[in-house]
Chain A
Amino acid sequence: MNSVPAVEVDGVSKNYGSVSALKPTSFAVPEGRYFVLLGPSGGGKTTTLRMIAGLIRPTTGRVRIGGRDVTDQPANRRDTAMVFQGFALFPHMTVEQNVAYGLELRRLPKDELRDRTAAMLRLVGLTGFEARRPSALSGGQQQRVQLARALVLQTSIVLLDEPLAALDATLRKDMCFELKHIQESVGTTFIHVTHNQEEAMTVADEIALIAAGTLVESGSPREVYETPRCRFTAEFIGENAVFSGPIVEGALRIGGAAPFVRDAEPPLAISVAAENIDLHLQQPDLEQTLPGTVVDVFYLGFSALLHVEVDGGPVVPVRLLSKELDAGIKSGGRVWLSWDPDHARMHTA
């Protein structure tokens, strides 16, 4: 593998008038990675993607692709191909024509063009659909055509802007697996924008969390889920109980309960994943417990989700196996929460 990153975003920002869509942001995407920009809507992730594609110009900063500065290059000169949100196909062309259009513009010989188009349609599982119009395809199929259209150009980077947002949940899940397989089989660098964390976790080698115009943190799906550095990450990814409170004698107090963290430096919050919280029906004989009241019980099949209002503290999620509900857990009941100190994560920001 090459040591030069496939894409390097270096201090890139975008302002629309006085509104800042993206504050100066830097990250690098190694070659062959499936990189996901994850974050809430309006956070600046699509803006970032479009600046990599060359569809909008950054206000400041440079974009490098394969080590080459492409900031001043238009979209068609960049070694990127885009899969757009929604079903962005040419409605008057057949599936085959849609995929082949980019190759035609590149003046490929007829038979090579046909072979590459056919190979791509096979890859995305649309052999036999060549002569159909986009209007005669399902949403998932249309997005496959878009993917084939992007991949057939054999660019070193494929950009995907919310490619699955318009699909229903089941289809979205299947398409996630498929996207991952396709990316692994072609080895192209994928940069994928989504607001859906499950989608991001499924496909990504690396996730960059973007919110409010800043890159919050990045890491592998496992890292951002299990050991988030920032409080925002803990709130956005997975289900986490996030506690913050007054610092008393260098320790965080939650409600009236015992101090939790020694030698804390403010500002500080701690978070615990919902599935790592232990629930007790009697006060346990532990140094650190939080009393609270069950507010809601949601049965979700294999697991159950509780909302527990900590006395003098926030309402936090707690995950249990559904069979644990039989112990007599019900809405309005008194419970005590505790966790293994190793599972508590500290956030300074």
Chain B
Amino acid sequence: MFRSFNAGGTAPARRSLWQVIVDDHGPGRIVLWIPLVFMVAFFLIPLALTLVWSVFERTMFWMEPGFTLAAYQDFFGSGRVDSFLNSVKSAAVTVAVAFILGFPIAVFVRRSVPAHAQHQAVLLFILPFMISEVIRLFALRPVLGRNGIVNDLLMSIGLVDEPISALLFTPTSVVIGEVLSFLPFMVFCGFLAMEAVPDYVFELCDDIGSGLVVTLRRVIIPLAAPGIFAAAIFIFVNSLGLFLVPDLLGGPGAANAGTLVVNAIAALDFPLAMAIAAIMVTMMVALLLIGHWLFDLTKLLEPFR
């Protein structure tokens, strides 16, 4: 015979306040809305304001409502667009270098480090982030300078006769600084992206006679592509915006998109700053859409099976 819980006269189990709150239909479900509220308050609204303000009229100290493309004309009609394009170029180079240096590390950790030590190994690459970015970048100056460690070393082993001055306060040094800043992201994202690559792939490729380079190109990179793409976007966007690097390592006149925005704000030209920001955001969204179309980013970080 089937009896419901209450039929026997026993009192229903008393639920604690906490259980009531976290019940599927209880007030606790509001928690689920917090990320959405956060995204609206701190992402969508500022984004909308950026777009709106970028077409406002500039005044002496702020701006007033209106519609003008003056800020965009100002951007595209000046040397700023060249600086912007240069920083796009160096961001792209940074992404490429970070991928070439960082992804093999991620593959190596997945393939050759025992499973229980893999996370620790990856953690090693994140350790530099415990040090302030300013200090990390500033510390590169004595390393890369004319009399820096790198040049000293190169000269003492006789590779070069005179110090290479291109290592500091040049576009090269900006790329070096950006790569050093963002390499851990490539290692970390690459490591997570390797979740999509089943472990047996390595043995299978060994057995079938697929060399490491072919395996990377035909098997590993296609499988890990969504994660690699995520890391690439992250590094690209941050390279564009992180004005500290050109500031500290780029020398006079060095600028990336972030520097342009900061300078515009310093000059109290808020619509211009907003316009540049709007262009950057548009670019990022376009890249994400392309990435989603290519790799289906909903599969991002989804482990194999």
Residues of A within 8 A of B (CB): 53-55, 74-77, 80-82, 84, 86, 88, 90-92, 101-102, 105-106, 149, 153
Contact = CB atoms under 8 A, between A and B. Distances in A.
A95 to B, nearest CB: 15
B200 A81 contact: no
Contacts of B9: none
B200 A75 contact: no
Contact of A101 (B203, B218, B304): B218
A126 B207 CA distance: 23
A91 B223 contact: yes
Contacts of B207: 53-55, 75-76, 80-82
A101 B210 CA distance: 9
A73 to B, nearest CB: 12
B100 interface: no
Counting from the closest, the 6 A-B pairs by CB-CB distance are A76-B209, A88-B200, A102-B208, A82-B207, A75-B207, A75-B206
27 contacts: A54-B207, A55-B206, A55-B207, A74-B206, A75-B209, A76-B206, A76-B207, A76-B210, A77-B209, A81-B207, A82-B204, A84-B200, A84-B203, A84-B204, A86-B200, A88-B200, A88-B203, A90-B201, A90-B219, A91-B198, A92-B222, A92-B223, A102-B210, A105-B209, A105-B214, A106-B209, A149-B208
Interface string B97-119: 00000000000000000000000
Nearest to B201: A90
Interface in B1-22: none
Contacts of B222: 92
A80 B208 CA distance: 9
Contacts of A102: 208-210
Interface string B196-233: 00101101101111100010001100110000000000
Nearest to B202: A55
Nearest to B206: A75
Contacts of A90: 201, 204, 219, 223
Contacts of A53: 207
B208 A105 contact: yes
Nearest to A84: B200
Nearest to B218: A101
Given A55-B207, A82-B203, A92-B222, 12 more contacts: A55-B206, A75-B206, A76-B210, A77-B209, A90-B201, A90-B223, A91-B304, A92-B223, A102-B208, A102-B209, A102-B210, A105-B208
Contacts of B208: 76, 81, 101-102, 105, 149, 153
A149 B207 CA distance: 11
A330 to B, nearest CB: 33
A80 B200 CA distance: 17
Nearest to B200: A88
Contacts of B304: 91
A82 B203 CA distance: 10
Contacts of A55: 203, 206-207
Interface string B119-130: 000000000000
Contacts of A84: 200, 203-204
B141 to A, nearest CB: 45
A105 B205 CA distance: 11
B214 to A, nearest CB: 7
A105 B222 CA distance: 17
Nearest to A90: B219
Interface in B288-305: 304
Nearest to B222: A92
A6 B223 CA distance: 37
A76 to B, nearest CB: 3
B204 A88 contact: yes
Contacts of A105: 208-210, 214
Contacts of A74: 206
A77 B211 CA distance: 12
A81 B203 CA distance: 11
Interface in B209-261: 209-210, 214, 218-219, 222-223
Nearest to B208: A102
A156 to B, nearest CB: 15
B209 A88 contact: no
A216 B208 CA distance: 32
Interface in B258-305: 304
